Structure 1
Amino acid sequence: MNSPYRVCFVCTGNICRSPMAEAVFRTFVEDAGLGALVRVDSAGTGGWHEGDGADPRTVSVLEANGYPSDHFARQFRAEWFGGLDLVVALDEGHLRALRSLAPTQADADKVRLLRAYDPARPDDLDVPDPYYGGMDGFEDCLEMVEAAGKGLLDAVRTALEERAA
């Protein structure tokens, strides 16, 4: 058996957007019957919240929409690139930060924007940080994550098929 396909979602502090994306995508993976083949994780570009749970508003939106939320924040480390197949940035700032951390060009090429997988192809590929706003920002974030998550699942399924061929 091949090693699992590993996906890590990354935002700023790993308490709002990336844990939401992690929970949603893990559910999509499980529902697709791919749980044994795909590992889903998240982290932040900064370590301010390391060890903290997800923002209570993230937890509230996830739970209200039927997603589990068991999360502890951590900071992304450059040495993780070797064990990851895909690093999913939540906005352009994260994309740049992660690519600059990448030890090799091949590692930098693993970094993609989440909304690039949205079949609706939005003009703005950033998932806005809901931290400083109200609940509506977290609900909007969930909608964006869900929309892009379906396209991301298709891309991961394709990568798994290519790996198996």
Structure 2
Amino acid sequence: MLPAARTPGSYRIELVCLGNICRSPTAHVVLEERLADAGLGDVVEVSSSGTGDWHVGDPMDRRAAATLTAAGYDASRHRARQHDPADDVDLVLVMDDANLADVGGRTDRIRKFRDLDPREPGSDVPDPYYGGDHGFEEVLTMVERTASAIIDALRHERPWADRT
């Protein structure tokens, strides 16, 4: 079950990894496009960030961008930013256990991205940064599958709706 929106009528999801140049921006681009295709882009806002600050302002890793571009996504607009716990978001989805610890641990509003993965719920999205191109392709496959499940949950649960 997804947490309710803090403000009825809209829902904000933040995707978090270590540097905000590989996994979370890949998930951001995919989820944002899928939400638009599903007609939910006007009620669900997506952002991404990293727990570290060393890539702030940088574009996405070139291999992540190339993988997204080859799959038909637009990776050109991303600029890395650092996670700010004061951001007013409804749901934070982190990529791995280390990111989960960095943002303060699991709560109703903080979970792992793959908690919603229909194949391997609760698994990490592995960091492809120090590997080859295949790792970026594996990440994209996991992200696409999990993004579909997130959209299904959003459609079913409508957490942005006023429940009073």
Match of 1:10 in 2: 16
C-alpha displacement at 1:124, in angstroms? 6.2
C-alpha displacement at 1:127, in angstroms? 0.6
| Bigger helix fraction | 1
Match of 2:62 among 56, 59, 75: 56
3-state DSSP class of the match of 1:7?
strand
Query: In the alignment, is the contact (CA less than 8 A) between 1:10 and 1:18 conserved in 2?
Result: yes
Task: Describe the superposition over 1:9-55 as per-residue Cα deviations: whole angstroms up to 9, x where unpaired.
Answer: 00000000000000000011001001110101100001110000000
Q: Distance in 2 between matches of 1:162 and 1:98?
A: 23
Q: TM-score, normalised by structure 1?
A: 0.88
Q: Distance in 2 between matches of 1:123 and 1:111?
A: 15
Q: TM-score, normalised by structure 2?
A: 0.88
Q: Distance in 2 between matches of 1:8 and 1:159?
A: 18
Q: Distance in 2 between matches of 1:137 and 1:162?
A: 34
* Structure 1 segment 41-120 matched on structure 2, within 5 A: 41-69=47-75, 70-80=77-87, 83-100=88-105, 108-120=107-119
3-state DSSP class of the match of 1:61?
helix
C-alpha displacement at 1:64, in angstroms? 0.5
Structure 1: unaligned runs, 5 residues or longer: none
Greater relative contact order: 1 or 2 (C-alpha under 8 angstroms, separation 6 or more)? Answer: 2
Query: In the alignment, is the contact (CA less than 8 A) between 1:14 and 1:42 conserved in 2?
Result: yes
Q: Distance in 2 between matches of 1:124 and 1:164?
A: 29
Query: In the alignment, is the contact (CA less than 8 A) between 2:9 and 2:161 conserved in 1?
Result: no
Percent identity between the aligned chains? 43
In the alignment, structure 1 residue 136 sits paired with structure 2 residue 134? yes
Change (3 A) 1:87 1:124: closer
C-alpha displacement at 1:164, in angstroms? 4.2
C-alpha displacement at 1:109, in angstroms? 2.1
Query: In the alignment, is the contact (CA less than 8 A) between 1:51 and 1:74 conserved in 2?
Result: yes
Structure 2: unaligned runs, 5 residues or longer: 1-6
Query: In the alignment, is the contact (CA less than 8 A) between 1:21 and 1:145 conserved in 2?
Result: yes
The one-letter code matched in structure 1 to 2:116 is Y
Query: In the alignment, is the contact (CA less than 8 A) between 2:16 and 2:49 conserved in 1?
Result: yes
